[in-house]
A and B are shown apart, each in its own frame.
Chain A
Amino acid sequence: MDLNITWFLLVGVLIGGYAVLDGFDLGVGSLYPLLGKTEEQRLILLQSIGPFWDGNEVWLLTGAGAIFAAFPLVYASVFSGFYLAMMLVLLALILRVIAVEFRNQAETLEWRTRLDVLFFLGSFLPALLFGVAMGNIARGLPLNSAHYYTGGFFGLLNPYALLIGFLGLFAFLLQGNSYVLLKTDGVLQEKARRLFLFIWASCLTLYVLASLYTYAAVPALFANYQKYTWFLIAPLLSVVGLAAAPWLVKTARYGWALLASSATMLGFIATLGLGMYPSLVPALNPGLSLTIYNASSSALTLKAMLIIALTGMPIVLFYTIYVYRVFRGKVDIYGEGYSGKNNHGAWPPGGGIVR
């Protein structure tokens, strides 16, 4: 396995890690208006992701850094090519940070509602647009000889990309919903249970539609699967995840259900990634495609980066798992829970609203 393939896989791991981890908090944010009808429910939802969302978002930043370091031409070409869409996602993510961090500080109902809207939009837009971006890349982009995208902003909103966008959105919703099932109980959990089948069925339907559409419109994505049969592990992972999820939810094995949903998500990403291999950004004119070879950094840089990744990431995983363990169990906004002893006025406990 050469360095370029290693980095292809590692970037995949970072994107997958981001989708799985930030996936559940983006999902919670996108489901927020549906699930959080009362102030109590909203506080529980926010509290459930409170300690984690920031760390989860670092996967995105690190992923971007890794693409810059390992495949600079992809970083330069895609991010500038998708300029307005990219900026929209960034602004949404910024507003989301503000909403999550400052909602507990807001004293009036008006402000809390405003920040609730920001939290929803800041979660929903990225959850949808990441898929749209993936769809566009998988479909093949109009690139010029300098590898710049020439399709314009509205060219990104084609039916195929939108379909992949919705598939991605529902995968995020499935992830968020499973997380809510795991971290809450009572009314909120019951609501999430009732929502589950709808999200799951939509996800499945979109998956079937997307596969058919891909077969018709982007047959090139299937070529690798004929060439390397073992690549079929990726779609199999999604299928197994999707098949297992309803049963796991029905039998109240919510931790496993979250795992199944994560497998579905990882399977989706791997399916697209392996389908494109060795391209990273297929061009409509195949000669102009950015591949793991023509878009990569030098072997020396890839090697240095590999050392950084192999020393750094195990440590990251170690303390990330530790922190998730500290906060294991159901969210409890009243007692010890996440909120700490109230006699210290610990922030943010979710102080009540003054009316």
Chain B
Amino acid sequence: MDAVFLSRLQFGLTAFFHFLFPPLTIGLATVIAIIEYYYWRRGKELYDQMARFWFKIFAILFAVGVASGITMEFQFGTNWSEYSKFVGDIFGAPLAAEGVFAFFLESTFVGLLLFGRDKISRNMRFASSVLVAVGSTLSAFWIIVANSWQQTPTAYRIEGGRAVLTDFSAAVFNPSTLPRFLHTVDAAYITGAFFVMGISAYFLLRNRNTEIAGKSLKIAIILALIGVLAQFFLGHSHSVQVAQTQPVKLAAFEGIWDTQTHASLNIIGFPDVNKEITHFSIGIPGLLSWMVHGHSDTAISGLKAFAPGDRPLILATYWSYRLMLLAAAWFAILVSWGAYLLFKGRLYNNRPFLIAAMYSMLLPVLVNELGWMAAEFGRQPWIVYGLLRTNLAASPLPAYQILLTIVLFILVYSGLLMGVCYLVKREVKKASGEIPHQLETGPISMMTDIR
């Protein structure tokens, strides 16, 4: 195993693990801000309890997001020093901006809410909740700016083997920034909403905490419905942008080998990289050309139009994208079902829906990962699309050192994952009364000497 492969593996593992959490916390922070809004306007005890319950879970997830995020800020330098030299003039700025505009905001106000919720006014409490949601969304913006520049580099010139910035705002708003930001943040809202739906459904199925669960479920379903409907447009416009800026990636998404007009929108099929065909392909004729260009007689480039050395990891790209779409179809069904039941007033005791919602709770978390994988596998073999190849971008490190740190990361992160699952589960079970609240034994046991 060579050092480049190992650095890729490590980056993939750590980014995968990290990316489990931010979409959840962005979505959950938004749900909490909505609940806090009701508390702020109406002052009902119920909203206060709801906000506190969800914030407890948010805090656990946020902590793991922070812990796993520390690595990401440094890894470009530690493992991708050639990349860092090449892109530093452009890529570093959004990372720094993320710190200045987003991380400070999130972490300061999470700390305030966690420890000072009862020391601040109701206005300030609402404001802090909104600032946490805004901070986490801004953090998504800046990191997507950085990542989008890798996908569609803009506003640079190459000078002495490095990309040099020529226009800051053109680099920030490069062609893929907005489509990718909106698509990803909307996915985060869906993720948070599904999470809240799932836990609320769990309570309702057990007939516990029904007031909190009912209100939360309602808010979550409405948010999920808006999110999923919006995603049809946002996902679509992102794909159109991919077709324009990274046609080879679109060809891999769709499993298209030959450049063709009237290209059909693939539903399912099995690409064969050796034979360069897609077996058992079922699609809607002409739709892809029409969706991308507005006419079905416009050509869509196929994979064969690109030299084999310039094609992405076709199977990984294709299947991540395909599974993402399949899951999206299920999301649309589930939220329409839920919205229908809500409209009919039969939501809270419809067991099949509640069970489906409960089991779909973490599905969006995995679908986010699929979307990320489709985007990044589809960018290969480039680390900066069209400018720098991944295999030329790594640090000159001895392989055994990377292997060592991979093992350490796997150990620490699996411990973390188990810990976070255990704690969230326990918080839910405490709230549903299945296990007693942590006993407040008070001063006496706290005074006892520990040793």
- A residues with a Cβ closer than 8 A to B are 37-40, 42-43, 47, 50-52, 54-55, 57-58, 61-62, 64-70, 72-73, 75-80, 83-84, 86-87, 90-91, 93-95, 97-98, 101-102, 105, 107, 109, 113, 148, 297-298, 300-301, 304-305, 308-309, 312-313, 316, 319-320, 323, 326-327, 333-334, 336, 338-342, 344-355
Cβ contact within 8 Å between A90 and B74: yes
Complex interface: chain A residues within 8 A of B74 (CB): 64, 79, 86, 90
Complex interface: chain A residues within 8 A of B73 (CB): 61, 64-65
Question: In the complex, A298→B92 CA distance in Å?
Answer: 12
Q: Which of B52, B91, B118, B439 has the most CB of A within 10 A?
A: B118
Contact A68:B92 (CB < 8 A) given known A98-B67, A326-B112, A326-B119: yes
Q: A55's contact among B82, B104, B164, B426, by CB below 8 Å, is which?
A: B104
Name the CB-closest residue of A to B131. Answer: A319
Cβ contact within 8 Å between A65 and B59: no
Which residues of chain B (102-152) have a CB below 8 Å from chain A? 103-105, 107-112, 114-120
Q: A58's contact among B82, B103, B112, B396, by CB below 8 Å, is which?
A: B103
Contact A91:B408 (CB < 8 A) given known A65-B96, A68-B95, A327-B115: yes
User: Does chain A have a CB within 8 A of B244?
Assistant: no
Taking A75-B84, A90-B74, A300-B166 as known contacts, 12 extra A-B pairs with beta carbons closer than 8 A to each other, sorted by chain A number, are: A52-B111, A61-B73, A64-B74, A75-B88, A83-B395, A98-B64, A98-B416, A102-B419, A297-B165, A320-B108, A334-B443, A351-B439
Complex interface: chain B residues within 8 A of A313 (CB): 100
Complex interface: chain B residues within 8 A of A51 (CB): 111-112, 114-116
Question: In the complex, A29→B429 CA distance in Å?
Answer: 32
Question: In the complex, A65→B64 CA distance in Å?
Answer: 20
Cβ contact within 8 Å between B443 and A65: no
Complex interface: chain B residues within 8 A of A80 (CB): 77-79, 81, 395-397
Q: B111's contact among A50, A67, A73, A78, by CB below 8 Å, is which?
A: A50
Cβ contact within 8 Å between B85 and A39: no
Cβ contact within 8 Å between A39 and B450: yes
Which residues of chain B (329-360) have a CB below 8 Å from chain A? none
A-B residue pairs in contact (CB < 8 Å), sample of 12: A54-B111, A58-B104, A76-B82, A77-B81, A83-B405, A84-B405, A101-B59, A102-B60, A301-B90, A304-B168, A352-B444, A354-B441
Cβ contact within 8 Å between B120 and A308: no
Name the CB-closest residue of A to B113. Answer: A51
Q: Which of A67, A83, A297, A308 has the most CB of B within 10 A?
A: A83
Name the CB-closest residue of A to B423. Answer: A105
Cβ contact within 8 Å between A72 and B89: yes
Question: In the complex, A98→B412 CA distance in Å?
Answer: 10
Contact A94:B68 (CB < 8 A) given known A57-B107, A75-B88, A78-B77: yes
Complex interface: chain A residues within 8 A of B437 (CB): 345
Q: How large is the interface on B (under 10, 10 to 19, 20 to 34, 35 or more residues)?
A: 35 or more
Name the CB-closest residue of B to A70. Answer: B92
- Chain B 396-427 per-residue mask, 1 if CB under 8 angstroms from chain A, else 0: 11000100110011001000100100010010
Q: A75's contact among B77, B166, B401, by CB below 8 Å, is which?
A: B77
Contact A338:B438 (CB < 8 A) given known A75-B92, A77-B81, A319-B108: no
Question: In the complex, A94→B415 CA distance in Å?
Answer: 12
Complex interface: chain A residues within 8 A of B446 (CB): 38-40, 43, 333, 350, 352
Complex interface: chain B residues within 8 A of A72 (CB): 84-85, 87-89, 92
Question: In the complex, A338→B112 CA distance in Å?
Answer: 10
Which residues of chain B (149-171) have a CB below 8 Å from chain A? 164-166, 168
User: Does chain A have a CB within 8 A of B377?
Assistant: no
Cβ contact within 8 Å between A323 and B111: yes
Cβ contact within 8 Å between B445 and A87: no
Question: In the complex, A148→B84 CA distance in Å?
Answer: 13
Q: How far is the CB of A185 from chain B (nearest CB, A)?
A: 16
User: Does chain A have a CB within 8 A of B1?
Assistant: no
Complex interface: chain A residues within 8 A of B438 (CB): 107, 345, 351, 354
Cβ contact within 8 Å between B107 and A62: no
Q: How far is the CB of B75 from chain A (nearest CB, A)?
A: 9
User: Does chain A have a CB within 8 A of B219?
Assistant: no
Cβ contact within 8 Å between A87 and B405: yes
Cβ contact within 8 Å between A340 and B111: no
At the interface, is chain B mostly helix, strand, loop or mixed?
helix
Name the CB-closest residue of B to A324. Answer: B108
Complex interface: chain B residues within 8 A of A327 (CB): 115-116, 119
Question: In the complex, A76→B443 CA distance in Å?
Answer: 51
Question: In the complex, A175→B81 CA distance in Å?
Answer: 34
User: Does chain A have a CB within 8 A of B206?
Assistant: no
Q: What are the 4 tightest A-B residue pairs by CB atom distance, in nearest-first order? A: A72-B88, A79-B77, A352-B441, A62-B99
Contact A54:B412 (CB < 8 A) given known A72-B92, A94-B68: no
Complex interface: chain A residues within 8 A of B108 (CB): 54-55, 316, 319-320, 323
User: Does chain A have a CB within 8 A of B56?
Assistant: yes
Name the CB-closest residue of A to B90. Answer: A301
Complex interface: chain B residues within 8 A of A95 (CB): 412
Q: Which of A52, A64, A309, A341 has the most CB of B within 10 A?
A: A64
Cβ contact within 8 Å between B445 and A39: yes
Name the CB-closest residue of A to B422. Answer: A105
Question: In the complex, A76→B405 CA distance in Å?
Answer: 18
Contact A298:B89 (CB < 8 A) given known A91-B408, A94-B67, A327-B116: yes
Q: How far is the CB of B335 from chain A (nearest CB, A)?
A: 31
Name the CB-closest residue of B to A100. Answer: B63
Q: A91's contact among B52, B87, B412, B439, by CB below 8 Å, is which?
A: B412
Cβ contact within 8 Å between B440 and A342: yes
Question: In the complex, A158→B372 CA distance in Å?
Answer: 43
- Chain B 373-406 per-residue mask, 1 if CB under 8 angstroms from chain A, else 0: 0000000000000000000000111000100110
Cβ contact within 8 Å between B419 and A58: no
Cβ contact within 8 Å between A39 and B92: no
Question: In the complex, A323→B20 CA distance in Å?
Answer: 29
Q: Which of B56, B66, B88 has the most CB of A within 10 A?
A: B88
Complex interface: chain A residues within 8 A of B325 (CB): none
User: Does chain A have a CB within 8 A of B71?
Assistant: yes
Name the CB-closest residue of A to B110. Answer: A54
Complex interface: chain B residues within 8 A of A79 (CB): 74, 77-78, 81
Cβ contact within 8 Å between A69 and B92: yes
Q: How far is the CB of B348 from chain A (nearest CB, A)?
A: 25
Cβ contact within 8 Å between B412 and A94: yes
Complex interface: chain A residues within 8 A of B110 (CB): 54
User: Does chain A have a CB within 8 A of B76?
Assistant: yes
Q: A346's contact among B52, B107, B449, by CB below 8 Å, is which?
A: B52
Question: In the complex, A66→B93 CA distance in Å?
Answer: 7
Q: How far is the CB of A6 from chain B (nearest CB, A)?
A: 14
Cβ contact within 8 Å between B92 and A76: no
Question: In the complex, A344→B39 CA distance in Å?
Answer: 15
Complex interface: chain A residues within 8 A of B419 (CB): 98, 102
Question: In the complex, A61→B446 CA distance in Å?
Answer: 35
Question: In the complex, A332→B102 CA distance in Å?
Answer: 30
